[in-house]
Amino acid sequence: MIHLKWEDNETVKTIECVHADAEKFVVHNKLTPGNQYEVKNETDEFYFIIDNSNRIGGFYKDYFKEVE
């Protein structure tokens, strides 16, 4: 149950939300376009971030762009 400790992990990188227009899921109440989020874990398809609810959430990578 490693996912229970992700909130305490070091930040892998910072990303910025570019849109919250989901076809299938409701994400507009968890993501704000223009806000930057800290990535706590990453897979090929998802970023796991601390979202607007201050909890870890997994979101498709197409909602974000990497901040340099």
pLDDT in tens, 13-46: 999 999 998 888 888 899 999 999 999 999 999 9
Which two structure tokens, joined as six digits, stand for 8?
């305490």
- Degrees, nearest 5: CA angle 28-65-15: 80
Nearest Cα residue to 56 out of 19, 18, 3, 2: 3
pTM of the model: 0.87
Nearest Cα residue to 40 out of 26, 58, 25: 58
